[in-house]
Amino acid sequence: MSVMQSGTQMVKLKSGTKGLVRLFYLDEHRTCIRWRPSRKSEKAKIVIDSIYKVTEGRQSEIFHRHAEGNFDPSCCFTIYHGNHMESLDLITSNPEEARTWITGLKYLMAGISDEDSLAKRQRTHDHWVKQTFEEADKNGDGLLNIEEIHQLMHKLNVNLPRRKVRQMFQEADTDENQGTLNFEEFSVFYKMMSLRRDLYLLLLSYSDKKDHLTVEELAQFLKVEQKMNNVTPEYCLDIIQKFEVSEENKKQNVLGIEGFTNFMRSPACDIFNPLHCEVHQDMDQPLCNYFIASSHNTYLTGDQLLSQSRAEMYARVLQDGCRCIEVDCWDGPDGEPVVHHGYTLTSKILFRDVAETINKYAFIKNEFPVILSIENHCSIQQQKKIAQYLKEIFGDKLDLSSVITGDSRQLPSPQNLKGKILVKGKKLPYSLGADAEEGEVSDEDSADEIEDDCKLKPCYNNGATEHQVESFIRTKLESLIKESQIRDKEDPDSFTVRALLKATHEGLNVNLKQNLDTKEGGKKSHSRSLMGNFGKHKKAVKAASKYHSASDEEEGQQNSSGKEMGQLHRLARRRKTVKLCRALSDLVVYTNSVAAQDIVDDGSTGNVLSFSETRAHQAVQQKAEQFMLYNQKQLTRVYPSAYRIDSSNFNPLPYWNVGCQLVALNYQTEGRVMQLNEAKFRVNGNCGYVLKPQQMCKGTFNPYAADPLPASPKKQLILKIISGQQLPKPPDSMLGDRGEIIDPFVEVEIIGLPVDCCKDQTRVVDDNGFNPVWEETLTFTIHMPEIALVRFLVWDHDPIGRDFVGQRTLAFSSLVPGYRHVYLEGLTEASIFVHITINEIYGKWSPLILNPSYTILHFLGATKNKQLIGLRGLFNKNPKHNSAETSGHYVRKRSLGDRILRRTASAPAKGRKKSKMGFLEATEIKDSASEPVDLKDREGVVRRTSRSLQARPASMPVDKYLLAGLPCPEDETAQDAQGKENASVEIAH
């Protein structure tokens, strides 16, 4: 470690250059590798946590490109890191240095991954404080003066009066060097500045107004608020010893405010249930009863046209918990099959390398089975080579003869398949004799979803070199994707990539030949015509109803003259067959890939129905309940449309909602969809298998109904959003740290069954990202909590540039009740502090017990519609969720001044819809099951969607009513609030 920290001169290899000599060193906190000199000093680092693997020798693609370089393999190593598996290729001057770095990095990687979460949280906090101090120390003298402190306050989004800052500065400045703070003094200053009023008041309410908690008071807090069972005095003493800072308090066995703050910010009070970090679900049910984490085009690092294929991507996704990976196999030179994206310019990698990588990383983090989805485009000869490699490399992992299913008509369980690799692919029909070495099978897969005129293959026939074609496509792709980028990251699929690809390909195939031969002026005019073409497509998409599926949009964009031809072409394509060899067919046991039209209900198990998102969308819309029944016996894989050339992801929700197990996503593309996928699979120790709800495994229900499961209890989630901590400026703010102090607000989104999908948000707090206080309650009713996700988003109300600050998404079932911190993903210290209450609501008529006045109104002859509105209002028990008619007549009339002070909560940026649906596509449910959806429109959305965001009542009285059962200091006002609540309900009727 000391050698690495003092630094080593190494050559950094780059493609197309000779290499750069740099000094690489491990930082003092052992959290990242840095190098200098570098023009981008802040970016010249690799965080240890982001490293996936370190390989010895000249194994990487860049080393292969520098084949002429006379490097000693024992001096070479490669670090793979980040989401896209970027490689840092290094050459040391002697083998000892390389060995030191390889061993040291592997040690650090192992240590950090196994580190106690509390120690890790403390280490990252200390590192963050130190880094903050160093960045604020502009002249590098190890001291901060008052002016540097003021600049730091602005950077940290703190809007304190200068007088208050100076006062804290003077209190912290205790050494003889007056007027400046060294690091120790700055740590004291930072603690003073960070003193949490919300936590201090909480401590006072449980300590009988003292400034510390005794063992008994701490136990009471844990039982009453945190809903913890079996709280022993020993456990409380352990907390005091672990978190208390003052030695005096430790001796007296009490927890002061600093220790209490440390405890509340520790993993013990995180919102995520720590039991869910391990596999805790029943793993002995058939495979079809689980959602299975699945990747699409696993080998790609980026887009589907030009990006690199890398074997290391398999290492990354397997370690991320993915259990179904895709391998596209094509004929390669010298009889060696290769993996790449067909009909495109993506780079090729050897199938053998892919198989070896999978074998090495499949079971490092968990032993549950891996499904290998083989997309076979090879000749019989190379298919035999694939089968040979699979047998040689995987060996016994492919042998499923000893697997017990319990019932011959039932798939085996993940538990029974531990350590096994299942090959998903085509199987020769049983009608063929066992001695037949090969046969015909139908061919349906993601590559052939692109119409023939959209494949890049024909481009080379126009006399253009591959380099010309690539540079032409790259330019077009960049300009088109740039145009399609959305300001608001949270609005998925607001742009149809289908139109983008169609325009690109039409331009390529129609104009490439003349354009590559013409002079510069011609190129420009073509560029304009291509962009014009793209613009028309884009307008067509926008003009189309937002409820239409992606396939409808595609067909709407086709020329009417070519419509019939296109349909004929599609029919012809469906009947296409390919030759399959017996050796590869025999490796397929429980995962036989079939097309929808090939399904015969002969009672056989082990069929995997493969659907592109467009076809799956139609199936969900037309036959949701039948689809769910099918998924109770067999597996279904849904993969992204081949038209998503930027590797964007579709909304997986409709497919999860009907029980599709293998919803394959582009793991290389960060963003909302992958965050939902991660949240879904984190619920069971991130092992890649999550048990489906019982209602999806037996019987059926309509996921689009207004009340899909009337017999099951619903959950009521009462979320009090209390405060925020150290919320940074938006990551893409144009002015960076010099920009305005942010005006944050929190949005909470529920994502699950359509009836549950909705959003709600707090008011805006002006000029405070360091410790904003909202103290607002949001209430949600959830019909199927087992599949619901809860998404916390923090936005800046009026930034220059992007307004998205951060997010955290969790499964509803992973939420823990009580006072909890929600740490925003990817941000070291940023969090929001919340209080969570989860109640059960039984049946449709339970509100009658809560509010007998409803029955009186019923006898008075209120209309059915009004009754239902009343019920909904009672379910939520929050007047701000009343219908449009009633929200204007809320009992509490607010003054104009009050309204101005509060500001509106319509804070999403311009162009962001104030829809309360979880996803843009969630509105597509209107196409299917129209009757229940109309019901939902009349009564369901009334909960939230139609209420005005402009004039929202303050939430405090309602909070006190909702939390009346809890021992809060505000109990005395609860009755008053209940009176107001009842009054508002009567007005609603």
Active site residues: 296, 340
Do residues 511 and 553 touch, judged by C-beta distance below 8 A? no
- Which of 327, 325, 328, 307 has its CA nearest to residue 316? 325
The three-class DSSP label of residue 904 is coil
What contacts 9, CB < 8 A, 6 or more positions away?
Answer: 21, 22, 23, 24, 93
Peptide bond preceding 640 in cis form (omega within 30 of 0): no
State the CB neighbour count (10 A cutoff) for residue 760: 26
Inter-residue contact 473 to 345 (CB < 8 Å): yes
Residue 77: Cβ-neighbour burial (10 angstroms; 0-12, 13-18, 19+):
buried
Q: Given the DSSP bridges, would you call strands 32-36 and 20-26 parallel, antiparallel or unpaired? A: antiparallel
Strand partners, 20: 12
Distance CA 809, CA 54 (A): 30
- 3-class SS string, 217-272: HHHHHHHHCCCCCCCCHHHHHHHHHHHCCCHHHHHHCCEEHHHHHHHHCCHHHECE
The token pair at 737 is 């740290």
- DSSP-based three-state secondary structure for 55: strand
Q: 735 by DSSP, 3-state: which? A: coil
Q: φ, ψ for residue 438 (rounded to 5)? A: -155, 165
- Please state the three-class secondary structure of 798-865 as a single string: CCCECCEEEEEEEEHHHECCEEEEEECCCCCCCEEEEEEEEEEECCCCCHHHHCCHHHHHHHCCCCHH
CA 733, CA 803: separation in Å to the nearest integer?
A: 8
**In three state form, how does the secondary structure of 138-169 look?**
CCCCCCEEHHHHHHHHHHCCCCCCHHHHHHHH
Which residues, including other chains, have CB under 8 Å from residue 247's CB and lie 6 or more apart?
A: none
The tokens for 547 are: 């409820």
Give every CB contact of residue 328 below 8 A, 6+ residues apart in sequence.
297, 299, 339, 340, 341, 342, 375, 377, 447
| Cα–Cα distance, 274 to 196 (Å, whole number) | 25
Could you tell me the maximum CA-CA distance found in the chain, to the nearest angstrom? 94
Looking at residue 46, the DSSP 8-state letter turns out to be E
Q: Which residues of 629-667 are buried (b: 16+ CB within 10 A; e: fewer)?
A: ebbbbbbbbbbbbbbbbbbbbbbbbbbbbbbbbbbbbbb
Q: Residue 71 has which token pair? A: 């490097």
Instruction: Sheet with 804-811: list strands edge to edge.
Output: 758-761, 744-751, 789-796, 804-811
Question: H-type helices in 395-496, by residue range?
Answer: 466-484
**Residue 365, by phi and psi: left (phi above 0), alpha (psi -120 to 50) or beta?**
alpha
Our CA angle for 682, 683, 688, nearest 5°, is: 55
Q: What is the DSSP string of 309-364?
A: B-THHHHHHHHTT--EEEEEEE--GGG--EE--TTS----EEHHHHHHHHHHHTTS
Burial call 730-750: b when 16+ CB within 10 Å, e when fewer:
beebeeeeebebbbbbbbbbb
